């Protein structure tokens, strides 16, 4: 697929690769079964999470939010005069990534950049997207379709535009608090909890626990830029058995403890670990956390996630330009240190070793 206006462009498409989510009541159970396939999770645990989706009409907002993100990326590509078509594929629900890969091959795509909707290291945040890429290529080969070379774009947890976008949402949330509450409001960041063993394996052996380290670093950058002297980093959406240690404290437990033992009346809660306001965000933070905070008379203003912002789309195109030009946060081989590789290979030996949690399925995306 050669673009006549840019015949020397080294890539001929961008694939936005995401988790996926149901778009109606009939989709919920098949979607959850896709997410949890092979993990031996009993039916009654799926029932619990299924109710979260039915509470919101059986529809995850994730696909619509990703389409909004893609529209912003397309507008930014056009603004910079980069003629790169954008495709959309999911791991767990339609449009499925394998189906999208088939369409791409049929339309002449032979080299594609892949933007995964996660900023972080770790198995679920990074390596599983490499596995998705490998699966797409295997699907094409099994169908006798033309091969597509795919390069996953690097992690972006500390990208200035990601920080800028998050600061914007934090500042807007703080401004919604009563004026008298704003000076003393706490800043609480939250991200998806994972087992401690998985966090320890989220980098190479020399830099383990990369997932929590990256999140904490991003929190430091955002807090400083927003003028907060301190912040709390907590976790949410734990889904494993009680005997397996996960990253703590849980956000609801943390707010309850603050309310009981400290002079605490207002907080800005920033779900920095998530790019979109999907089911885990709106259920865990806008429902469970708000109900808990109300019991103690604590005001919680939840900052929106950043994936819908033009600043975020500008960051994605910055990352695209890194790969198009070879200029940016890349190694001498033109591949970023963390998260970027070709054709589904891990970006480093023993990096983000697969460790799938067991127990209750995540309420997911």
Tell me the binding residues for Fe-coproporphyrin III. 60, 129
Distances (CA, A) of 221 to 2, 147, 302: 40, 41, 19
Q: Are 280 and 362 in contact (CB under 8 A)?
A: yes
Of residues 59, 62, 186, 202, the one with CA closest to residue 119:
202
d(CA 119, CA 58): 27
Which residues are part of a known binding site? 60, 129, 192, 280
Element (H, E) at 161: helix 160-176
Q: Are 319 and 157 in contact (CB under 8 A)?
A: no
Phi-psi region of 245 (alpha: psi -120 to 50; beta: other; left: phi over 0): beta
Q: Are 143 and 99 in contact (CB under 8 A)?
A: no
End-to-end Cα spacing for the chain: 33
Three-state DSSP state, 96: strand
d(CA 277, CA 202): 24
d(CA 283, CA 277): 10
Of residues 19, 18, 349, the one with CA closest to residue 203:
349
Of residues 91, 74, 93, the one with CA closest to residue 14:
74
d(CA 292, CA 252): 7
Q: Are 21 and 274 in contact (CB under 8 A)?
A: no
Which residues are part of a known binding site for Fe(2+)? 192, 280
């Amino acid at each position: 697929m050669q673009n006549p206006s840019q015949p020397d462009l080294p890539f001929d498409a961008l694939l936005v690769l995401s988790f996926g989510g149901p778009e109606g009541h009939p989709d919920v159970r098949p979607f959850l079964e896709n997410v949890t396939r092979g993990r031996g999770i009993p039916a009654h645990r799926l029932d619990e999470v299924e109710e979260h989706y039915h509470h919101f009409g059986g529809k995850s907002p994730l696909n619509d939010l990703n389409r909004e993100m893609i529209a912003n990326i397309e507008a930014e590509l056009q603004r910079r005069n980069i003629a790169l078509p954008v495709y959309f594929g999911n791991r767990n629900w339609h449009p499925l990534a394998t189906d999208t890969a088939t369409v791409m091959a049929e339309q002449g795509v032979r080299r594609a950049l892949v933007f995964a909707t996660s900023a972080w290291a770790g198995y679920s945040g990074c390596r599983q997207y490499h596995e998705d890429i490998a699966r797409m290529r295997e699907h094409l080969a099994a169908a006798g379709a033309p091969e597509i070379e795919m390069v996953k774009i690097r992690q972006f947890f500390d990208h200035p535009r990601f920080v800028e976008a998050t600061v914007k949402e934090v500042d807007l949330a703080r401004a919604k608090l009563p004026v008298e509450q704003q000076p003393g409001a706490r800043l609480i960041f939250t991200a998806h909890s994972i087992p401690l063993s998985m966090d320890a394996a989220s980098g190479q052996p020399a830099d383990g626990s990369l997932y929590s380290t990256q999140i904490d670093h991003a929190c430091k950058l955002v807090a400083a830029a927003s003028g907060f002297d301190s912040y709390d980093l907590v976790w949410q959406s734990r889904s494993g058995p009680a005997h397996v240690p996960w990253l703590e404290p849980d956000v609801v437990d943390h707010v309850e403890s603050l309310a009981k033992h400290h002079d605490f009346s207002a907080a800005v809660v920033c779900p920095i670990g998530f790019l979109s306001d999907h089911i885990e965000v709106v259920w865990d933070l806008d429902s469970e956390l708000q109900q808990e905070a109300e019991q103690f008379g604590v005001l919680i203003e939840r900052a929106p996630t950043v994936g819908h912002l033009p600043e975020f789309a500008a960051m994605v195109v910055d990352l695209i330009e890194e790969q198009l030009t070879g200029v940016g946060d890349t190694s001498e081989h033109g591949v970023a240190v963390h998260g970027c590789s070709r054709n589904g290979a891990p970006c480093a030996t023993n990096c983000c070793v697969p460790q799938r949690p067991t127990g209750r399925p995540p309420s997911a995306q």
